[in-house]
Structure 1
Amino acid sequence: MKYGNRELTAHEAAKVLEISERHAEALLKDRLIAGRQLRSGVWLTSKASVERYRATAQSGRGRALSASTAWGLLWELSGRRPSWLPSSTLARVRRQIETFSPEEIVRATSGRTRARFYTISRGTSDISWGNSLVRTGRPAARHLGVRAGNFNYASGYVRDGTSADFARRHAMSEDYEGRNVLFDNTLPITYPGAAMPDAVVAVDMTLTGGEYERERGLLALAMLQRKWMEARQKI
């Protein structure tokens, strides 16, 4: 069996998160928790998926910002000017960068888009992602101190259309344990770069990876905060 006995039911996930089963099912349906639905209607997920959600779901300071504000915070933290933010919002974003912990930054910016996980269908090999994705996550994070490895998989924002469109074009099957991660591009501007700015890469690595990726992503965010505050002190 593909998933073996590693899966959790919505009821079991609800117990882990200390929420109602109905709430857990809603999170799975909205893909805030990665999972799959059987023909019977039963939802299944994994401990790793639940833990990824837990990292973004705690209450208190750091609740999810609107998409445009969240993108602006990550743009500013990466040393770029978020030109779409009004001055009052930019001032608030700067205060948040000064006071939020890396974990709070992850939670606050986690609602920009949804990650979908895929595997490459059998019979398909040597896929060239070309310029159709803006890279993010671990494949884009080597310069942030991430251990080198085999990154022959997709982790990025689609430039045109939706992640589902991209998956169909490249014969990818949705699979919450898949290594390929696609995001719908909700940026309020056109971005021509090959890879997302560093803070976006770090947050996406934290949200979609395992324990190693979460650890490295949070360390990268802490480093970016230090550099940002040092630069602000020089102004």
Structure 2
Amino acid sequence: MERLPGWLSVREAASRLEVAPEHVYELIAAGRLEAVQPGRELLVRSDSVWHRTHVVRPQAGRPWSPRMAWAVMWQMSGLRPTWLSSSEQVRAQRYVRRPPEQWPRLLSARAQKHEALMLPAALKKLLNRKAVCVGGLEAGVAHGAQLVSDENHRRELYVSPKIFDELRGARGIRWNSEAPNVTFRVVPGPIVDQVTLPDIAPPAVAAADLLDTGDERSTQAAKELLRRAAILRR
């Protein structure tokens, strides 16, 4: 039984995913599953287990490396992935043709996900920092997605490992919250050295975030963003 509505024990999550409990801990550490520890027991968000079971895992094949994932998103946004070799650029051009339905799996290694509850003052201060990139719903709306963004939606922010480490010890942030209002996507260090993240994530990055949700409205909005980006690239 769930300890709290919407949360599972590690063993329950392992059972639903059909993996060993040790693998659940690995997925949590990698940011692939959302978890909190309000007391002695670690709890896993049931929505993230469902998403991994029904969206990420069903399709065969390995996710793209962070290097290739960002290259594909860059190309889809009309940007040039200068960090790729000639042979890698050819491969990335081929990958661009993959259907959006496969993106949650193929792009799952682009960043590690971590959830937190941030006080308004701390969040405002963070948003004013350089190298903090707004993604998700907010970025989608900024690029014309027909979705509603309000003050109560969960913010999605791309940050470097350095900034994330600083946030780990900062005030005004609660990491083991049952009601997080921020999703941090920590971009791997080697990618941070190559990619200059803008204040608002490029269209294809926003689309990838929307596709991760798995709901119909976000999926359709993501596909429209990608369609518009494709027209601009012509």
- Give the structure-1-normalised TM-score: 0.79
Q: Contact between 2:122 and 2:171, CA under 8 Å: does it hold in 1? A: no
Q: How far has the Cα of 1:6 moved from its partner? A: 2.9
Q: Contact between 1:118 and 1:180, CA under 8 Å: does it hold in 2? A: yes
Give 2:185's aligned amino acid. Answer: F
Q: How far has the Cα of 1:69 moved from its partner? A: 0.7
Q: Contact between 1:136 and 1:195, CA under 8 Å: does it hold in 2? A: yes
Q: Contact between 1:66 and 1:112, CA under 8 Å: does it hold in 2? A: yes
* Structure 2: unaligned runs, 5 residues or longer: none
SS of the residue 1:127 aligns to: helix
Q: Does 1:204 align with 2:209?
A: yes
Q: Deviations over 1:4-52 (max 9, x none)?
A: 3432112211222222333223322333211134775x43212112123
Inter-partner Cα distance in structure 2 for 1:124 and 1:29: 28
Give 1:134's aligned amino acid. Answer: C
CA RMSD of aligned residues (A): 3.0
Residue 17 of structure 2: aligned partner: 17
SS of the residue 1:45 aligns to: strand
Give 1:101's aligned amino acid. Answer: P
Give 1:183's aligned amino acid. Answer: R
Residue 199 of structure 2: aligned partner: 194
Q: Deviations over 1:174-215 (max 9, x none)?
A: 1364021112233342425211111111212333x5x5xx43
**138-147 or 15-24, larger mean C-alpha shift:** 15-24
Q: Contact between 1:97 and 1:225, CA under 8 Å: does it hold in 2? A: no
SS of the residue 1:69 aligns to: helix
Residue 180 of structure 1: aligned partner: 182
Check 1:153–1:106 CA distance in 2 against 1; reply closer, same or farther (3 A cut).
closer
Residue 44 of structure 1: aligned partner: 43
State which of 101, 104, 107 in structure 2 corresponds to 1:103: 101
Inter-partner Cα distance in structure 1 for 2:34 and 2:95: 28
Check 1:152–1:218 CA distance in 2 against 1; reply closer, same or farther (3 A cut).
closer
SS of the residue 1:162 aligns to: helix
Percent identity, aligned pairs only?
A: 21
Inter-partner Cα distance in structure 2 for 1:126 and 1:33: 23
Q: Contact between 1:158 and 1:166, CA under 8 Å: does it hold in 2? A: no
Inter-partner Cα distance in structure 2 for 1:93 and 1:113: 18
**222-231 or 11-20, larger mean C-alpha shift:** 222-231
SS of the residue 2:96 aligns to: helix
Check 1:151–1:161 CA distance in 2 against 1; reply closer, same or farther (3 A cut).
farther
Inter-partner Cα distance in structure 1 for 2:30 and 2:197: 29
Inter-partner Cα distance in structure 2 for 1:7 and 1:151: 21
Check 1:169–1:75 CA distance in 2 against 1; reply closer, same or farther (3 A cut).
same
* Structure 1: unaligned runs, 5 residues or longer: none
Tell me how many residue pairs correspond in the alignment. 223
Inter-partner Cα distance in structure 1 for 2:19 and 2:48: 16
Residue 56 of structure 2: aligned partner: 56
